[in-house]
């Protein structure tokens, strides 16, 4: 546990926003690991069936496995300032799509080589 002390001015400038992209990745990982959410339970057969889709499988290859902590930052950009959750997700997806080739290669090829204990799966190369 840690303690954070902040004055009123700092708190007034602080914004909390959900990352729907990060939440989606967490559900994907939970589904792939055959896990159960502590509140919502089993993701269900439709979610498990989606794991066979090539694009979903590719995304899953880019997520850390047990003992690994690095997730490419391009997959979880900071949420924007939209008021509606659907717009927040759209903003994050637009940021993901705007990732340059150089950023993608650095994060996917460079950082995973340093932070993962396994090679990048062939399908993700």
The pLDDT tens digits for 98-110 are 999 999 999 999 8
Domain boundaries, the chain: 17-124
Q: How far apart are CA 2 and CA 14, in angstroms?
A: 18
Q: What is the pLDDT of residues 3-44, one digit of tens each?
A: 888 899 988 888 777 788 999 999 999 999 999 999 999 999
Provide the whole-model pTM: 0.77
Q: How far apart are CA 79 and CA 111, in angstroms?
A: 22
Sign of the C-alpha dihedral computed for residues 75, 56, 84 and 36 taken in this order: negative
| Helix, strand, coil share (%) of the chain residues, nearest 5 | 55, 0, 45
Which residues does residue 37 pair with via DSSP β-bridges, in sequence order? 41
């Amino acid at each position: 546990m840690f303690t954070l002390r902040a004055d009123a001015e700092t708190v007034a400038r602080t914004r909390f926003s959900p990352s729907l992209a990060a939440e989606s990745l967490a559900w994907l990982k939970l589904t792939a690991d055959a896990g159960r959410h502590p509140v919502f339970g089993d993701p269900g057969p439709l979610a498990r069936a989606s794991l066979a889709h090539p694009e979903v499988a590719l995304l899953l290859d880019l997520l850390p496995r047990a003992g690994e902590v690095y997730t490419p930052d391009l997959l979880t950009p900071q949420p924007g300032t939209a008021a509606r959750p659907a717009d927040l997700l759209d903003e994050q997806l637009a940021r993901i799509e705007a990732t340059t080739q150089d950023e993608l290669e650095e994060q996917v090829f460079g950082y995973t080589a340093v932070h993962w204990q396994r090679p990048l799966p062939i399908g993700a190369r």
